[in-house]
Amino acid sequence: MTDHDPFGLRSLTVDQLQSTPGVKWQQHRHRLAAWVADMDFPMAPVITDRLQSIIDCGMAGYQKWGTGASPAGRVFVDRMASKYGWGIDVDRVHDLADVLQGVRLAIGMLTEPGAAIALHTPAYHPFLQSLADMDRRLVHAPFDVDELRTVIASEKPAALLLCHPQNPTGHVFDRPQLEAIAEIVEEFDLIVISDEIHSDLVYAPKTHIPFASLSPAVESRTITVTSTSKAFNLAGLRWAVMHVGIERFDTMIRSYPKHWFGSPNLFGVEAAVAAWTEGDEWLGAVMDVLDENRHRLAELVEAYLTGAKYQIPSATYLAWIDCSMLGDGDRPFELFQSRGVELSPGMQFGANGSGHVRLNFATSPAVLEQIVATMASS
């Protein structure tokens, strides 16, 4: 670690990463890992210090946080107010194990089997799988709002599942787009489930706007789910949070015994509190590296992958790369696998992912260059 790199983000090597636990580098040990959405960066010291203090005391027993939100849920309320000017009622906040739990709860409780759910595609593949598992019909939502209105009017979905910012494209919905979407969902009486897990990973000059913060009317038809897991690299600690703007859904949740939904993990809660109250210096350093990497990747793609198309994302650490010059379907993914790089296959994100791959660039600059150079090797 140096003054230029106080958190050791720029000096990571493949040898170091291959010795780390976790699925990213262990599942495909003979390939360079740029697939699952975990960052290669070590946790923020403020988080490791918080977790170490729990271990040092030697006790990790049952926790009693009362009938409402956990300490992390309350910090979520504070962060929404301070960062976005969105004042929310803590009584409408529920702790979860992960964001997908909230998405599935909302779909399962608020829509019927066979109902249509609109989703911008290409889409985060667990969303697609969840809709299939729950017998809901996918409606492909265009990013263009005029086209979206036409599709909603024709397909009559019960809900819009909004990935905001969007995975895998890195698209950030700006205020005019969000307001247009809000008009459409109000006109056609849709509920909105807004996954905002990447909201801390938006690059300037773009900014994140919580969908439910647009107006009280929008909030009243929106469920927001988010977590510290993506921005602070905490997926294994299993904590997320849900804000329920839809009154009948809040009533439905409270009608069931609370233990049916599980309780938050002590370490996940404490890590989230540390992240959102003390972790912004570390996050700023991470964003500096990611910002450099997203632009450097454009240079690397041009240098090594002739014919590939890459649009620099406005958010996330995920690159959506059109490699259709190498073939349709998942042919590019399979080719890169054979060359020694594990990416996410485009078809995993829906049919319009044909010929694409998703590349995770949350690593050191040197490892990123090694990944792209290996993709181009024969």
pLDDT in tens, the chain (378 residues): 566 788 999 999 999 999 999 999 999 999 999 999 999 999 999 999 999 999 999 888 877 766 678 999 999 999 999 999 999 999 999 999 999 999 999 999 999 999 999 999 999 999 999 999 999 999 999 999 999 999 999 999 999 999 999 999 999 999 999 999 999 999 999 999 999 999 999 999 999 999 999 999 999 999 999 999 999 999 999 999 999 999 999 999 999 887 788 888 899 999 999 999 999 999 999 999 999 999 999 999 999 999 999 999 999 999 999 999 998 899 999 999 999 999 999 999 999 999 999 999 999 999 999 999 999 997
Cα→Cα distances 195→103, 166, 366, Å:
8, 9, 32
Confidence at residue 62, expressed as pLDDT on a 0 to 100 scale: 78
Confidence at residue 66, expressed as pLDDT on a 0 to 100 scale: 61
Confidence at residue 373, expressed as pLDDT on a 0 to 100 scale: 98
Q: Catalogue all structural domains in the chain, each as residue range(s) with its CATH number.
A: 14-44+280-375 (3.90.1150.10), 71-278 (3.40.640.10)
CB distance 117 to 158 below 8 Å: yes
**Buried b vs exposed e over 190-205: b needs ≥16 C-beta within 10 Å?**
bbbbbbbbbbbbbbee
Say if pTM beats, i.e. exceeds, 0.85: yes
- φ, ψ at 95 (rounded to 5°): -80, 150
